[in-house]
Amino acid sequence: MLFNSIQFLVFLPLAFAVYWLFNRNLRLQNLFVVAASYVFYGWWDWRFLVLIAFTSAWSYLFGLLPRSKWNVAATLVINLGILGAFKYYNFFVDSWLSLMSGWPTR
């Protein structure tokens, strides 16, 4: 589902309305936002739901631990590392292959 699609035009107001049905219960609101996010993300490609579930669980579990700079750093490294790997993997591979194709071989 893309932001400029008809599906999103239906999904967003519906999700917003359901979110406000839980206005007295912050926990239910938060659980609904997570579930709606999974639906939105899974609509694009269901295979990546494992990835978002992993990062959600990782961040939640580290949020339960006592706050220290090491816990925050570990969470940031994991989440930004996954983001960087998925966002820039092809760029670095293509750049490396272009660089290596210009070198003479024996």
Helix (H) / strand (E) containing 93: helix 69-101
Question: What is the predicted pLDDT for the residue at 106?
Answer: 61
Residue 67 — very low, low, confident or very high, per pLDDT cuts 50/70/90?
confident
Mean pLDDT of the chain: 90
What distance in Å separates the CA atoms of residue 73 and residue 79, rounded to the nearest whole number?
A: 10
Taking 70 as the threshold, does the pLDDT of residue 81 lie above it? yes
Amino acid identity, residue 93? V
Residue 29 — very low, low, confident or very high, per pLDDT cuts 50/70/90?
very high
In this prediction the pTM is 0.72
Q: Which two tokens stand for residue 53?
A: 């579930």
